[in-house]
Amino acid sequence: MRGGTSRGPFFRGQDLPADLVTRDRVLLAVMGSPDRRQIDGLGGAHPLTSKVAIVTKGSQPGIDLDFLFAQLQPDQDTVDTTPNCGNMLAGVVPFALETGMVRAQGESSTFRVLTLNTGMQCDITVQTPGGQVSYSGDARIDGVPGTCAPILINFLDTAGSVCESLLPTGRVVDEIDGLTVTCIDNGMPLVLVRAADLGRTGYESVAELNADTSLKARLEQLRIACGYAMGLGDVTARNYPKMTLIAPPRAGGGISTRSFIPHVCHDAIGVLAAVTVGTACVLSGSVCDGVAEVAPGVERQVAVEHPTGEFCVELETDPADPQRVLRAALVRTARLIMRGEVLVPRDVWTGAVDAPHG
């Protein structure tokens, strides 16, 4: 399925090995990792298309569905189930409806989903006219061609998804490794830094930034230092925190971004990264002050510009505590691309090498 601007196979939890070591071997074989081209699997040779969703019926009262996200890398043998993915999240309810885990409720259907990676809950609403998932509609998201049916995601509690709090250093701004940064986690641990402070405009193309080896080395040095400051320990082998360059908007939005995930510049921006950037924009004193253009009020929309368009996030802050975000909501789309069997070499399961196994 495509979920937002990401893509990957969705599995029912019961169809995968219960043993985590075996499960991870199976997922690596499914995706064709480690191999830069992922030529021997379903992966798309990019982190955005090296993702897996595992869905089961809700295991807690009030929860309809459990979602476990797995990030794989084309050229690595890692299966990371630590971070969230708001893009793949958009495909969870359609997948559950398609596979009979849940039943449509009417013209639209809302289900509560628990992301097992971080304990985050959200309500997801999809269009189900005639009791069937509709993928056709007029909702458009940048980074995806054409239009589709809208999927509304209302996040219930995203602050401190991986870190211990929204502001894991206890401050809205820090001086780390010689740079002024905001370390923040409202669904995704991020480090925000002004592009100008790194001698860049923040409007460079994805190709330019991916070829900028000196910038990437500097960002990795900063990322490792911020990981310790955020209470995450040594993040050298982890996919977070993500690094985000910010600059003043130039296409009518609220802020311009270039997001690294964490070593490759994103063609767009992740869902929860956009939520977290938008949150920083409404927090007084963050590195976004003087950079972002956001209207005042307790309910605000922040249009986060990225290399292929913009991502609009709706945020509500506490009138009694403007530094506290009560709600974050956004629209995504998803599409069922195919259903079927993926074959995994038998030796991945049993150690034999004589035949494939579905």
Query: Per residue, what are the HEC states of 314-329?
Result: EEEEECCEEEEEEEEE
Same domain, 314 and 351: no
Number of domains in the chain: 2
In a domain, 184, yes or no: yes
80 contact partners, CB below 8 Å, separation of at least 6: 70, 71, 72, 238, 239
CA 239, 177, 159, 123 torsion-angle sign: negative
Among 256-260, 301-305, 317-321, 334-338, where is mean pLDDT lowest? Answer: 317-321
Same domain, 212 and 310: yes
Cβ atoms within 10 Å of 201's Cβ, excluding its own: 15
Please name the residue that has the structure tokens 């230092």: 225
Q: Which amino acid is at 255?
A: I
Same domain, 201 and 74: no
Using CA atoms, how far residue 313 sits from 131, 143, 265, 283, 330, in Å, is 29, 16, 21, 15, 5
Same domain, 289 and 319: yes
- Enclosing domain of residue 192: 174-325
In a domain, 278, yes or no: yes
The answer on pLDDT for 177 being more than 50 is yes
In a domain, 146, yes or no: yes
pLDDT at 353: 43
Q: What average pLDDT does this structure show over 53-59?
A: 97
Among 6-10, 71-75, 144-148, 326-330, where is mean pLDDT lowest? Answer: 326-330
Same domain, 131 and 195: no
Cβ atoms within 10 Å of 61's Cβ, excluding its own: 5
Q: In terms of DSSP H, where are the helices of the chain? A: 20-31, 86-89, 92-98, 206-210, 213-229, 271-282, 346-349
Q: Kindly indicate the confidence band of residue 356, based on its pLDDT and cuts at 50, 70 and 90.
A: very low
Q: Which amino acid is at 250?
A: R
Same domain, 93 and 215: no
Q: What angle do CA 128, 69, 170 make, to 5 degrees?
A: 110
In a domain, 330, yes or no: no
Same domain, 78 and 130: yes
d(CA 103, CA 117): 25
* Phi-psi group of 81: left, alpha or beta (phi > 0 → left; psi -120 to 50 → alpha; rest → beta): alpha
Compute the mean pLDDT over every residue in the chain, rounded to the nearest whole number.
Answer: 93
The answer on pLDDT for 358 being more than 60 is no
In a domain, 156, yes or no: no
Using a cut of 0.95, tell me whether the model's pTM lies above it. Answer: no
pLDDT at 321: 87
Same domain, 218 and 352: no
Q: What average pLDDT does this structure show over 304-329?
A: 88
Same domain, 261 and 347: no
Q: Which CATH number goes with the domain that contains 23?
A: 3.10.310.10
354 contact partners, CB below 8 Å, separation of at least 6: 346
Q: Kindly indicate the confidence band of residue 351, based on its pLDDT and cuts at 50, 70 and 90.
A: low
In a domain, 225, yes or no: yes
Same domain, 76 and 125: yes
